[in-house]
Amino acid sequence: MISRIEQDHSRFREIIRGKIRQNLRKYISRGDLIAPKGQGSVTIPMPQINIPRFVFGDNSGQGVGQGEGDAGDPVGGSPKDGQSGSGKAGEGEGHKALEVEVSLEELAEIMGEELGLPNIQRRGTQSLETKKDRYVGLRSSGPESLRSFKATFKRALRRQVAMGTYDPRRPVIVPIREDRRYRSWRTDPRPQSNAVIIYMMDVSGSMGDEQKEMVRIESFWIDTWLRSQYKGLESRFIIHDATARVVEREVFFRTRESGGTMISSAYKVCSELIEAEFNPEQWNIYAFHFSDGDNWSVDDTATCIGLLKNQLLPRLNQFGYGQVESPYGSGQFIKDLRAAFNKHPLLITSEIKTKDDIMDSIREFLKGGR
Amino acid sequence: MTSMSDVLAASGGLPGVLRELQSEIKGYADGFGLDTFPVVFEPVDYRHMCEIAAYDGFPTRYPHWRFGMEYDHMLKSHTYGLSKIYELVINTNPCYAYLLEGNSLVDQKLVMSHVYGHCDFFKNNNFFSHTDRRMIDVMANNASRVRRYMDRHGVSTVESFIDVCLSLDNLIDPWLPFRDKKGRRAPAGQSGMAGPEVEAEDESGRLHNVRGYLEGYINPPEFIAAQRAKKKQQDEIARRKLPPAPDRDVLGFLMQHAPLDAWEADIVGILREESYYFLPQRQTKIMNEGWATYWHSKIMTTKALRDDEIIDYADAASGVTAMGPGQLNPYKIGVELYRYIEERWNRGQFGTDYDSCSSLQERASWDKRLGLGKQKIFEVRRLYNDVTFLDEFFTEDFCRDQKFFTFKENRRTGRLEIEGRSFAKIKAQMLQQLSNFGQPFIYVVDANYLNRGELLLGHRHEGVDLKADYARDTLRSLERVWRRPVSLLTILDDKAKRIRFDGSEISMSDEPQAFRV
């Protein structure tokens, strides 16, 4: 039976979910929600929900205290320097900030509902699950080969101490049958991933920190959504300026290089990566490329289009190109792509001018449900 | 979900050590003359403790999301080590108290002593006399009705109506339970009936006349007739006026007169009942905590403490009475005031002689060895509430000894700074914070305002404005209940105003004069 408080707690969480949904755009466009890798949840700060009543107005500018001090001395606990300036001092009372922990799955669900994202139609084989045995505990029977010496002797020591037969001056411990402990295992199903996202980012000189931040936020949310659709989703990261390479996740978001931009280099690496590791028969492959659209030359753009047409698109579930606006870039690439692929169903382009556009861009990318 | 029998069963299962401890502490409490209900202690783990605390001590309470929010908050602050609920005790007979499992024995002793203090206060303080000591059952019954309404009308319908009522739950009349023992109002309008019904030859408008022959000149018959007609008309209006006089029991008024469905009226009633039940605890925070602190300190330091526990006890006890800068600790003020009173009455420092004595030295060494201190504090705990307690015993001497000060925000730096140590100012401010259990005075003034069936409330302004945005939202709640436009007379920035909500928008207009009673 569910206890009463849990029912009330889940009602409260429903209300919170409603609030998150209302403010989803705000939350999405903020970078600080992004959970470190491996962490299954994010913490969202929101103001405490207060019930309005007829109460006295802000009276915190004055009061009665107790203690030492002369007129003019500061009362401890007054707002720190950093806080003054904005807002009235000590709006404090009843202003407990609420920190709400939301699992990424839940967040993905909210996002999916809010953006009206369809569930993804998988292709290829259904996801396979493999099983893996893990040693997780102890039990009192088992094969001798799995006997845990440490645990067995601990038991024996405990028994002897309890029985009073243990002599610390002559510490001899003799396990008997009941003391023996054996390692036991559990069989965990391990989902075999059959989806991969390949992120490509332009890190040439024209991509500033702000642009990278937008890419970071957007790929986080795409990742979150696709993860909710596939168990054990893989991801790969490619950065490029004039040359491209596969990198770790951390490097992907941190690197800043300078130099020219040859987008084709990234597409080439991507294509090789798919060839080497991900058989399109069995994998759902997503590729996203983010750039400011300032490619080196018209020739290179032509190469890109060729690569996309012949190498990438036939193998991918979807190719997304997101163009962030940068003060330096010409933004020509998106126009070229649009011209070349005029509404190709697998190629989706989206322009991200400011952080506020991230939501719409995500919707653009994911609304196809492929 | 804890039924009575569960709780009793659990208390029977109180671990032997704690049971012994309880009878030991009970013995000391009785020895000091504390008069308590039977106390049932139940050790609970911290999750359970947070759960019970979220329900204000009543695990049987009706379902509502805010309990979940409180629970969430308490559980987090506990988990992060920001706060810890040591003890929880509720005003019922028998008195249920919860102990936090895993506290050290000396902590449990302290908590038990503290609980006996509270329990004595609940039983004997006059302001608790009207509370229902079987509130656990009442709450459980209320909860099952609320659940039934939820089944019938939908959870969110009922829950949002509870939200509406919660925003009005401080609009009650603290003195109503004493005017009407059952806490129930007489059906409105009846009280006003009796007077005008008596159609005796009334003397209205008739001037006093000692000489009979002048009657026709002094009181011409047609004038008297006109006067009577006028009076009758006025009475008629007064009788139809609702409420006959401004009424502070806004919730009660709405329960009876607002166009509510039966279940809605019941929910208003439930919330009102709970508000009245919790009211004395809000009226006696300082006295109640002070009393419990006084007794845990007395019992522990004179009887219960073993030598090896002294450090742990001192650590815990000093935490209870610690003063945060810029805020008042009710435990601290309360316990100091009781000790101060005890000291004064022991030494006979009261009465005209003492009050009129102006020599500081003489006052300080004043000692008639009367030994009336204990008797006096027991009397005080029976008769006073926070306002009268401070009004009478918060003296200039006490204020000086305890180093009280007033503080104010420095507009330039945004810092809170000590303003001064003027006794009059300190006391005025403290009483102001405590009067009407810290809530503004709100009255129902007219249920047929402008002869349009609108509801008019009045805020008796005592120097501090209402929080404007909250006031506006509260008007929305009122409109939901009254289903006609509602207005509130108040003062904002020294100007008399009327705020009105007509169901779609909030408007504000100037008033010729402020609302007074």
Using a CB-CB cut-off of 8 Å, the residues of chain B touching A10 are 68
Residue A65 backbone dihedrals phi, psi, to 5 degrees = -130, 180
Residue B483 pLDDT more than 90? Answer: yes
Q: A364 is written with which tokens?
A: 């653009």
B63 with A8: Cβ contact below 8 A: yes
Across the interface, of B167, B409, B426, the residue whose CB is closest to A89 is B409
Q: Which residue has the tokens 């009463």?
A: A4
- Pairwise CB contact (< 8 Å): B433 & A64: yes
For residue B190, pLDDT beyond 50: no
Delineate the domains of chain A, giving CATH numbers in brackets: 1-50+92-116 (no CATH), 132-189 (no CATH), 195-366 (3.40.50.410)
Strands (E), B95-174: 95-100
pLDDT at B300 over 80: yes
Only one residue has tokens 């989806």, namely A195
Distances (CA, A) of B64 to A253, B277, B477: 44, 18, 17
Residue B512, pLDDT > 70, answer yes
Residues B358-382, mean pLDDT to the nearest whole number: 91
CA-based nearest residue in chain A for residue B159 = A11
Mutation target among B461, B470, B474 for the A interface, most CBs of A within 10 A? B470
Give whichever of A16-30, A67-81, B276-290 has the largest mean pLDDT. B276-290
B167 touches chain A (CB under 8 A): yes
pLDDT tens per residue, range A241-267? 888 888 887 788 777 677 778 888 899
Mean pLDDT of chain A: 79
d(CA B14, CA B11): 5
Q: What was the pLDDT predicted at B192?
A: 37
The larger pLDDT score, comparing residue A314 to residue B374, is at B374
pLDDT digits (tens, 9 = 90+) for B414-438: 788 888 899 999 999 899 888 888 8
Distance set, CA B245 to CA A357, B5, B82, B97, B192 (Å): 59, 47, 48, 42, 10
pLDDT at A93: 36
The tokens describing B339, both together, are 């000790």
Dist. CA B46–CA B103, nearest whole Å: 10
Q: Which of B472, B514, B517, B516 is closest to B493 using CA atoms?
A: B514
Q: Inform me whether the pLDDT recorded for B195 exceeds 50.
A: no
Residue of B nearest to A77 (CA): B325
DSSP secondary structure code for residue B466 in this structure = B
- Mark yes or no for CB contact B63/A55 under 8 Å: no
Q: What is the pLDDT of residue B134?
A: 93
Task: Return the residue in A64, A93, A96 with the most chain B beta carbons within 10 A, the one to mutate for interface testing.
Answer: A64
Inter-chain touch B409–A62, beta carbons under 8 Å: yes
Q: Of how many residues is chain B composed?
A: 517
- pTM score: 0.74
Least confident range from A192-201, A301-310, B87-96: namely A192-201
In whole angstroms, what is the distance from residue B404 CA to residue B417 CA?
13
pLDDT band, very low/low/confident/very high, at B475 (cuts 50, 70, 90) = very high
What pLDDT, on a 0 to 100 scale, did the predictor assign at position A192? Answer: 61
Question: Does residue B8 surpass a pLDDT of 80?
Answer: no
Question: Exposed, middle or buried, A282 (CB in 10 Å: 0-12/13-18/19+)?
Answer: middle
A 10 A CB-CB count for B330 gives 17
Which residues on chain A are in Cβ contact (under 8 Å) with B459?
Answer: 54
Residues B384-394 have a mean pLDDT of 95
pLDDT tens digits along B225-262:
888 888 888 777 777 788 888 999 999 999 999 999 99
Q: Which of A192-201, A221-230, A302-311, B4-13 comes out lowest in average pLDDT?
A: B4-13
Which DSSP state fits B301? I
Token pair in block for residue B139: 């709450």
Q: Is 50 exceeded by the pLDDT of residue B200?
A: no
Residues 6+ apart with CB under 8 A from A298: none
DSSP state of A147: B
The amino acid sitting at B91 is N
Residues 6+ apart with CB under 8 A from A231: A127, A191, A193
Taking CB atoms and an 8 Å limit, are A56 and B467 in contact across chains?
yes
The whole-number pLDDT of residue B270 equals 95
Can you tell me the mean pLDDT for A330-353? Answer: 83
- B323, two tokens: 């003063």
Q: Among A25-29, A171-175, A303-307, where is mean pLDDT lowest? A: A25-29
Which of chain A's residues have a Cβ under 8 Å away from the Cβ of B439?
54-55
Of B204 and B139, the structure prediction assigns the larger pLDDT to B139
Residue B470 in contact with residue A55, Cβ under 8 Å? yes
Does the CB of B179 have a partner CB in chain A at under 8 Å?
no
**Closest CB from A69, A79, A98 relative to B414:** A79
**Sheet order of strands, B39-44 included:** B39-44, B95-100, B87-89
Q: What is the pLDDT of residue A150?
A: 92
CB A154 within 8 A of CB A210: no
Q: Is A99 helix (H, G, I), strand (E, B) or coil?
A: strand
Query: How many whole angstroms separate alpha carbon A227 and alpha carbon A235?
Result: 10
Give φ, ψ of B469 to 5 degrees.
Answer: -70, -35
Mean of the per-residue pLDDT values of chain B: 87
Residue with the larger pLDDT of the pair B130 and A209: B130
Radius of gyration of chain A (CA): 29
* Burial category of A171 from C-beta neighbours within 10 Å (exposed 0-12, middle 13-18, buried 19 and up): exposed
Q: How far is CA A216 from the centre of its chain?
A: 10
Here the tokens at position B53 are 């605390």
Q: What is the dihedral of CA B329, B335, B339, B344, to 10 degrees?
A: 60
Decide: A151 and A181 in contact? Cβ < 8 Å: yes
- Which B-chain residues 67-96 have CB contacts (< 8 A) with chain A? 67-69, 71-73, 76
Q: What is the pLDDT of residue A79?
A: 38
For the segment A25-73, what is each residue's pLDDT rounded down to a tens digit?
A: 777 777 666 656 556 777 777 776 888 999 988 665 678 888 888 887 8
Cis amide leading into B63 (omega within 30):
no
Specify the pLDDT at position A39: 65
With a cut of 80, say whether residue B196 has pLDDT above it.
no
Q: What is the pLDDT of residue B342?
A: 95
Task: Write down the pLDDT at residue A42.
Answer: 77
Half-sphere exposure of B481 (CA within 13 A, CB side): 32
Q: Which residue has the higher pLDDT, B171 or A293?
A: B171
- B418 to A64: CB separation less than 8 angstroms, yes or no: no
Query: What's the pLDDT at B158?
Result: 95
How far apart CA B473 and CA B479 sit, in angstroms, is 10
> What average pLDDT score do residues B43-68 get?
92
Residue B163 has pLDDT above 50, yes or no: yes
Question: Does B417 contact chain A (CB < 8 Å)?
Answer: yes
Every domain of chain B and the residues it spans: 4-125+284-303, 322-434, 440-510
Q: Whole-angstrom Cα distance, residue B409 to residue B416?
A: 4
Is the CA virtual torsion B370, B373, B378, B380 positive or negative?
positive
Q: Do A11 and B64 touch (CB under 8 A)?
A: yes
Q: Region B84-89: what's the mean pLDDT? A: 86
